[in-house]
Amino acid sequence: MPFKFWILSLLFWLGCLVPCFAAEMPDSAKVGHLLDRISFGPRPGEVAQVEAIGIDRYLQQQLNPTTLPESPPLQQRLAPLETLRLSPPEILRQFTDTRQQIRDLQQRQQLDTATVRSINRQTTVVNQQAQQAKVLRSLYSNRQLEEVMVDFWYNHFNVSIEKGLSRLWAGDYEQRAIRPYALGQFRQLLGATAYHPAMQYYLDNWRNTAPESPGARGAYRGLNENYARELMELHTLGVEGGYSQQDVTTLARIFTGWGFCQESTRADGFCFEAQRHDASAKVFLGQAIAPGGLEQGEQALDLLANSPATAAHISYKLAQYFVADDPPQALVNRLAQKFLATEGNIRQVLLTLFQSPEFWDSQALNAKFKTPFQFVISSLRALNLPVKDPSSLLTFLNLQGMPVYGCESPQGYPNTEIAWLSSDAMLRRLSWATSLTRDRPLRNRLNGQPPAANLPPVNPNELAQTLGSLSAETRDAIATSPPNLKAALLLSSPEWMYR
């Protein structure tokens, strides 16, 4: 790609950094705005489809995803991913058997590099298929709001594949602990993530043991406050949620004995070991916790889920994701009130958000900078490109600093402009957009075709219709560009970098 093109592209993009808003959001922009926020971006013809049924009906369909039949092409693409059907105990047994196989070969001195790679491939395929499934669902699911919320909640209750056994369970964690509750009751979602072995391992609670208990030995030597701290600071109350260090320690004692095991009778692999638990009476957040076992953790989760601080924290994050990096406090307050009034009904909180004047305010239009994942998925949806092998896509996300399931911090990936907007990131996006629209081998790789396969070229006029309204500056720049660069400039435009 000529150097001149990169310079012109950057100047074109940077010159349009500050969008100009009308006094109020025009009706013609509302459907596009809705699709940008509650889906991973419109596909060709989708704006017209939503206009035909109306915004209210489309919203109700998306808020009630079980009423929508799922895409047959998506189901066909997911069917070969057989590891998605394995439970955490089954995955753990497979991993344990693999480790034992390596040890046996070592003892017989029959282990070579090729054998190790072959054996390890059996475990890495679990994570690879989970990543593929996430990409395919984001691209092709008819239940787009559900996919957006699964992505939102996974990021909120983040578990990273970069830490040990968590890499085996990230996909199941998303499907078992997040997806069923993404639009349901927050308390159920909170409990499902607390019990899942991916969270137990990632935040070290599987080691958490009462120091004076009979089970305090070996790897289980004492209290581990990691999960208790993140549960309050990140998952529920927020950093200013009014809890003390004593509350952190008490909550850690409440969760002693929680873990996982291959012999679990639960589908998620959770195990509770009473011999490692502190069963004494406790005071947590000013509330008395009676002596007991597993039920102490359930009571603590109830207190956290029903706290006004949790309502405020979750409401802020939802408003920040769907409306603005610095969301209006009045909106956050109303969402928190709905959260408390409905005992954390996520569907009702979202409906309040989507019907709010702040969501439809002109300042919300194109106000959220896309994360790398949102940029990639929305671009492929707009182009309507068939994706069978997402490995090239996953490689690009790694280069952009957003590997799927790979955020090492419990805070999850940020969703604000300042975190993702840089000259280096923009150059990578421009390069990828250019390759996607002009590089036949890349599109063939994504489609699982030979490099020389003859896919039709991207039609910039059709792409422009899907992208929606463009500024006069963008239209002029594209009109005067060479025909073979028009599609690349559309996917590199300021309007497309925002949602």
Residue-wise pLDDT for 252-304, tens only, equals: 999 999 999 988 889 999 999 999 999 999 999 999 999 999 999 999 999 99
Give the confidence band of 103 by pLDDT, cuts at 50, 70, 90.
low
By C-alpha distance, which of 141, 129, 150 is closest to 73? 141
Stronger pLDDT, 46 or 451, i.e. the higher one: 46
pLDDT in tens, 221-251: 899 999 999 999 999 999 999 999 999 999 9
Does the structure show a pLDDT above 90 at 123? no
pLDDT of 455 higher than 80 = no
Please state the domain extents for the chain: 3-19+369-497, 82-180
pLDDT at 7 over 70: no
Instruction: Give the helix ranges, DSSP H, for 15-80.
Output: 27-38, 46-53, 55-63, 72-78
- How would you classify residue 292: left for phi > 0, otherwise alpha for psi between -120 and 50, otherwise beta? left
At 4, is the pLDDT very low, low, confident or very high (cuts 50, 70, 90)?
Answer: very low
pLDDT at 5 over 60: no
H or E segment at 271?
strand 270-272
Place of tokens 């391992």: 201
Contact between residue 425 and residue 400 where contact means Cβ atoms under 8 Å apart? yes
Dihedrals phi, psi of 220, to nearest 5 degrees: -105, 70
428-436 mean pLDDT: 92
List the Cα angle 42/79/405 in 5-degree steps. 60
What DSSP state is assigned to residue 274?
A: G
8 Å CB contact between 494 and 474:
yes
Whole-number pLDDT of residue 22: 41
Q: Please choose, from the candidates 268, 297, 281, the residue with its C-alpha nearest in 3D space to the C-alpha of residue 201.
A: 268
Q: Is 471 helix (H, G, I), strand (E, B) or coil?
A: coil
Residue 220's beta-bridge partner residues?
217
Q: Report the distance separating Cα 437 and Cα 370, nearest Å.
A: 19
Contact 290, 281 (CB under 8 A): yes
**Beta carbons of 311 and 289 less than 8 angstroms apart:** no
Helix (H, G, I), strand (E, B) or coil at 284: strand
Q: What is the pLDDT of residue 15?
A: 46
Segments in 358-484 forming alpha helices (H): 372-383, 391-399, 417-420, 423-438, 440-446, 460-467, 472-479
Give CA 181 to chain center in angstroms: 14
Say if residue 11's pLDDT is above 80.
Answer: no
- Selected residue with higher pLDDT from 439 and 391: 391
pLDDT tens, residue by residue, 308-359: 999 999 999 999 999 999 999 999 999 999 999 999 999 999 999 999 999 9
Strand partners, 272: 258
Q: What is the tally of helices (H) and strands (E) in the chain?
A: 26, 4
Position 484 scores a pLDDT of 87
pTM: 0.91
Q: Please tell me the predicted confidence (pLDDT) of residue 496.
A: 95
CA 220 remoteness from chain centre? 32
Segment 434-440 shows an average pLDDT of 86
Sort residue 242 into left (φ over 0), alpha (ψ -120 to 50) or beta: left
3: confidence class by pLDDT, cuts 50, 70, 90:
very low
What pLDDT is stored for residue 116 in this prediction?
A: 62
Instruction: Please give the Cα distance from 230 to 412 (Å, whole number).
Output: 12
Residues 80, 81, 85, 90, CA torsion sign: positive
Check pLDDT > 50 for residue 21.
no
Query: What is the distance between the alpha carbons of residues 210 and 214, in angstroms, rounded to a whole number?
Result: 9
Which of 238, 175, 232, 174 is CA-nearest to residue 203? 232
- Give the integer Cα–Cα distance in Å for 305 and 211: 28
